């Protein structure tokens, strides 16, 4: 495993970081608790030291399982990354910005973006309790909230750093303009954004900005929620309540297949999986600090960590890039 410093912070994260969205279950067709905890343990055993989660993932369940999985572990050897700013329990009393209606076991649950100081303080305490820890390594605003000033949110984050509740502050899904506004108040460690072979929009403005200002980028959805693993072009099936039934529809399936067919010989030559090649390619892109990879069982976690054992030559990278350009 390789470890990288996150922006100007003191944090060093594993380049492959465990992404804990899917183990929350909601939007992913449920979860198996024992498999999820085994996946976390397997990731830790194979060099992954960083875990990224959020209160919204499973409405608290993801954080709870991480807390359970880490019982008895050396806390100083694990970096916990979580978020705040999505409210689903009605505690915002109608404040904030409506985001979308989530499904909780057949029940419609309105989700709001709400990043006020009071809500941030409340959420941090809840996350600390669920995670079973007294500090969070990186706390990130989950989504921009247009109903709260950026300065209010950033001032609250700075206060939490001073109190020792968090080691560093980051954002997620922020534009360059929003990051520039935040910089007036706080030195952000990172921005967590969607990035993959099929989605390289951040290369235009965001990567140049973060690189110039020494801010880390945490890439999420590098496998496009499993699409780039190739298994959904074979015999893998999705449950009816899995959000990917609609998510995959945004991509041209035939072009994605063609891309994977180009990558397949490289994977076979290296005795690797398509997923491993895709993850390794992502870690080698300019400006990308760490890459999130989800796993719902131990085998997937071990496979993800193994991506860092693969070397891609300049020629192989060019071959992959040429294929991506054709999409």
Mean pLDDT of 247-267: 84
| Higher-pLDDT residue of 233, 55 | 55
What Rg value do the Cα atoms of the chain yield, rounded? 19
57 is catalytic: yes
Are residues 164 and 126 in contact, defined by beta-carbon separation less than 8 angstroms? no
If one counts every other C-beta atom within 10 angstroms of the C-beta of residue 191, the result is: 27
Structure tokens at 306: 């193994």
Report the alpha-carbon distance of residue 252 to residue 248 in Å, rounded.
Answer: 9
Is the pLDDT reported for residue 119 higher than 60?
yes
Q: What is the pLDDT of residues 163-215, one digit of tens each?
A: 999 999 999 999 999 999 999 999 999 999 999 999 999 999 999 999 999 99
The domains found in the chain, sorted by start residue, are 3-248+275-310 (3.20.20.100)
- Dist. CA 117–CA 137, nearest whole Å: 19
Helix, strand or coil, per DSSP, at residue 274:
helix
pLDDT of residue 239: 56
Active-site position among 57, 195, 209, 220: 57
Burial class, 236, CB count within 10 angstroms (exposed 0-12 / middle 13-18 / buried 19+):
exposed
Structure tokens at 188: 């952000």
User: How far apart are alpha carbons 12 and 3 in whole angstroms?
Assistant: 6
Place of tokens 């999705």: 238
Give the C-alpha separation, 3 to 16, whole Å.
9
CB neighbour list of residue 44: distance below 8 Å, 6 or more residues apart: 73, 78
| Residue 78, helix vs strand vs coil | coil
Tokens of 147: 């109903």
Is pLDDT of 22 > 90? no
Average pLDDT over residues 96-110: 87
What does the alpha-carbon distance between residue 177 and residue 200 come to, in Å, rounded to a whole number?
Answer: 18
Strand, helix or coil at 64?
A: helix
Residue 281 has pLDDT above 70, yes or no: yes
**What global pTM score does this model have?**
0.92
| Mean per-residue pLDDT over the chain, rounded | 91
The whole-number pLDDT of residue 107 equals 84
Angle, vertex CA 141, rays to CA 137 and CA 144, nearest 5: 165
Is 27's pLDDT higher than 80? no
What share of the chain in percent tops pLDDT 70? Answer: 92
Once rounded to an integer, what is the mean pLDDT over residues 41-59? 96
Given a contact cutoff of 8 angstroms between Cβ atoms, the answer to whether 74 and 44 are in contact is no
Residues paired with residue 51 on neighbouring β-strands, in sequence order:
18, 80
């Amino acid at each position: 495993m390789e470890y990288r410093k996150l922006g100007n912070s003191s944090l060093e994260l594993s380049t492959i970081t465990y992404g804990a969205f899917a183990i929350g279950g909601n939007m992913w067709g449920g979860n198996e608790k024992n498999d999820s905890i085994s996946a976390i343990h397997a990731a830790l055993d194979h060099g992954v030291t960083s875990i990224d989660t959020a209160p919204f993932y499973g409405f608290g369940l993801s954080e709870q399982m991480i807390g359970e999985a880490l019982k008895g572990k050396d806390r100083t050897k694990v970096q916990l990354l979580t978020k705040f700013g999505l409210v689903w329990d009605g505690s915002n009393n109608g404040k904030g910005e409506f985001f979308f209606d989530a499904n909780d076991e057949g029940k419609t649950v309105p989700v709001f973006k709400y990043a006020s100081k009071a809500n941030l303080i409340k959420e941090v305490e809840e996350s600390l309790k669920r995670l079973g820890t007294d500090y969070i390594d990186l706390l990130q605003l989950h989504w921009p909230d247009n109903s709260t000033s950026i300065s209010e949110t950033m001032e609250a984050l700075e206060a939490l750093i001073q109190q020792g509740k968090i080691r560093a502050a980051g954002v997620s899904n922020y534009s360059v303009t929003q990051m520039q506004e935040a910089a007036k108040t706080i030195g952000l460690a990172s921005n967590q954004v969607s990035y993959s072979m099929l989605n390289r929009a951040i290369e235009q403005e965001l990567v140049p900005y973060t690189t110039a200002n020494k801010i880390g980028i945490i890439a999420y959805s590098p496998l496009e929620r499993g699409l780039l693993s190739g298994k959904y072009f074979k015999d893998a099936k999705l449950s009816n309540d899995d959000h990917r039934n609609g998510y995959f529809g945004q991509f041209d399936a035939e072009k994605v297949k063609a891309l994977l067919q180009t990558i397949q010989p490289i994977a076979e030559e290296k005795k690797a999986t398509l997923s491993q090649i895709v993850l390794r390619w992502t870690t080698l892109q300019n400006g990308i600090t760490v890459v999130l990879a989800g796993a719902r069982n131990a085998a997937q976690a071990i496979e993800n960590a193994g991506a860092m054992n693969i070397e891609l030559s300049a020629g192989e990278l060019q071959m992959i890039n040429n294929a991506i350009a054709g999409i």
